[in-house]
A and B are shown apart, each in its own frame.
Chain A
């Protein structure tokens, strides 16, 4: 959709962007993040040609934007900045309708669309359309800013720190609403921010910049788990991931090689295997690692006394056990542990193959790392 090709930009002797190449896919919400002066806003403004690259090309749907009419190009993109972006001498209605009117769209349609847009951003049209921006709160102003960006129904929306001047509660609200909008409308959104929480929360992909370079361009999950270098790691912040526990997956914290046995194993041998491996349960799998059941130590000791010594695991294993998938989050796993009052949760692939195991004690170890300054998550990969 949007493609940066070897973009360079210098203001005088100051190189702001250095050989930037980046592809933004259609329908993605990409946040560009970095400290001030890293070139993130410059990148954004290049997309609507407010800033010209010193060299390199930007393609949108394969077309070089340099060959397009600049007015048309910009009208095909929504543009949201901080509150100052609204025209204070125009009413809310005039602000929203300015570009459609300049493009000479059908007046009736404009009016209808304006009402839809107000509805979309959750503002009462009767109450607010004829007010002036300064008569609105900061959050309301930004809603109008968003509504204006959608007024031409553009494919692409550019947002330059739109929420950064808002109080935290309003900001969270607007972020949630933006996500909601994005889920239904599926625009391609480029969103500049300096707030890592915001980036992680809303982005499909995050582009971390520093001193004119892209350090890492990846999903929030990957960036949190696998920062490509120390700078990114420190920028992301230690334990940042705990702010987004959704991103901690079962596969990240599971024991990869749980102690297993086949269904034909005798009870006595099973007990010996537990003692030897110092575990209190065994995963029963067939030879394709398909999960069949669980035997627990306390059950085995009890059964050894009442069964014939020749009995196999298959006869005593528990086949109705709670389990999780590798993509389930730590929260899902915790709720299984609590809900079923079990101490072991096997992690199975959708086909039922055993992938790993999470136990109460492994959960304890993982959680302790949040408070005890040690590295664990993703460390195994």
Chain B
């Protein structure tokens, strides 16, 4: 019942994401057809090109989609464009391959007959070769389209929107309803797309070439046309409605800025909080781009101007982005970051917020009891018997696992790196004994974990700081004051509570953010 209620409560969001998903997929498949079919035809004429073209398409297909997205970000930034481009690249192979195979498979005598009775090259192509190959080409497009529906969920990883948004944010917050609410429509959509394309495939197959289970293929054809017609009308209607409504909202908007955020609960709340704050107190219209992967994705996005503002953490900026060796001095870290960000990236770093979301390690109460663990020093003594399942980021950063090894002489039996939220699941399932955690993480409270004290002050400070593009700040200096006001209220306790509301109580991050602002009288 909980799931049904969730669906009813978020139906507007699910529907608009679904629509966005359909739109993105349609654009991607459309473009893949526009590129793939001509390429397939081309390599029929230029035989020498067929191997390299198919080879490249094959290689693209073989690259993991996440990696392809990663490559796309520095070149194309974040948002819908790189997502669509990646899906287009992925969709190319079946289309090119089938176009090539379809045209090659035509009886050469038929083609010669077409030439012999006096058709020009182009006429032979579009009157004979393409119609003859169309069933095979459509089969390729069908494969591409179905794959594209699934693949398009990746778009949310770089802020491209679509149903993947629900899946990703559901994974972050360990919210199965949300995951299902994203995955189920995506799955149904894929099935629907498969069905529609199977109808098209039949429709473009010449009646004479169909193996007719149908007694009357001409009658079946009418039904097929009707199905497609209705679908086309519905789609056109939806897009039109969507276009009109977005046009209306755009016309309302003044200057628009984009606020980004990383892909965990606290960042999602902060992204909405900052957005609401600015929207309510200035003339600016704010576009929200939460769930943007890790720190690197946000940095490259703000450098490219894809986003104008996001909240980072001093320690991340200092060690990770700037590459300094982590230190514990709060003030020195902050000052260095302010100075270097201005010089290196032309970005302004505003005042530190009140909370320090540093790294910590956490274990289950049973584990803490068994080994009598209170501090990281305690943990290091028994670490060779334990398995840790940290985030990918944690294993690589010098102020994380590598630094811990040095300072505390910590050497775990096994390190299983995984995505952020599933690591708690691994812990609860006894597949690992310890996890890294953010000190403000609501999930700590949700799963009742024991946080170990950093008795050697190893972890550097991770105070939250708004990072903003210089040109935006220059045009709107009032933003600094506004964000400082907000930052001063956000203590660690407040932040844990807000995270807890989302992670444990399952509230919508946007609502939590807004309620807090209202309660504080900030909007």
Contact = CB atoms under 8 A, between A and B. Distances in A.
Interface of A: 45, 48, 50, 71-79, 81-82, 84-90, 98-99, 102, 132-135, 148-149, 152, 158
Nearest to A130: B218
Given A88-B132, A148-B117, 15 more contacts: A72-B118, A73-B118, A74-B115, A75-B118, A77-B118, A81-B112, A84-B107, A88-B209, A89-B132, A89-B208, A98-B117, A99-B119, A132-B207, A134-B208, A149-B117
B6 to A, nearest CB: 50
Interface stretch (B80-88, B123-131, B190-198, B472-480): B123-131
26 contacts: A45-B116, A48-B116, A50-B112, A75-B118, A77-B118, A79-B117, A81-B112, A81-B116, A84-B110, A85-B113, A87-B114, A87-B127, A88-B209, A89-B128, A89-B208, A90-B206, A98-B117, A98-B119, A98-B127, A99-B118, A132-B208, A133-B208, A134-B208, A148-B117, A149-B117, A152-B118
B109 interface: yes
B112 A135 contact: no
Contacts of A74: 115-118
A93 to B, nearest CB: 14
The 10 A-B pairs at the shortest CB distance, nearest first, are namely A132-B208, A74-B118, A75-B118, A89-B206, A85-B113, A134-B208, A79-B116, A84-B109, A89-B131, A79-B117
B5 interface: no
Nearest to B113: A85
A85 B107 CA distance: 9
A87 B115 CA distance: 12
A343 B252 CA distance: 117
B284 to A, nearest CB: 58
A132 to B, nearest CB: 3
SS class of chain B's interface: helix, strand, loop or mixed? Answer: helix
Contacts of A102: 118-119, 123
A81 B116 CA distance: 10
A89 B114 CA distance: 13
Task: Specify which of A79, A82, A148 lies most central, judged by the most chain B CB atoms within 10 Å of its CB.
Answer: A79
Nearest to A135: B208
Nearest to B115: A50
A98 B110 CA distance: 14
B109 A132 contact: no
A134 B209 CA distance: 8
Nearest to B132: A89
B251 interface: no
Contacts of A90: 206
Nearest to B109: A84
Contacts of B118: 71-77, 99, 102, 152
Interface in B86-123: 107, 109-110, 112-120, 123
B208 A85 contact: no
Contact of A50 (B110, B116, B208): B116
B117 to A, nearest CB: 5
A82 B117 contact: no
B116 to A, nearest CB: 4
Interface string B201-217: 00000111100000000
Contacts of A134: 208-209
B113 A81 contact: yes
Contacts of A149: 117
Interface in B110-167: 110, 112-120, 123, 127-128, 131-132
A247 B281 CA distance: 109
Contacts of B207: 132
Contacts of A85: 109-110, 113, 116
A135 B114 CA distance: 20
A76 B207 CA distance: 31
Contacts of A50: 112, 115-116
A132 B206 contact: yes
Contacts of B115: 50, 74
A73 B116 CA distance: 10
A89 B206 CA distance: 5
Contacts of B107: 84
A84 B127 contact: no
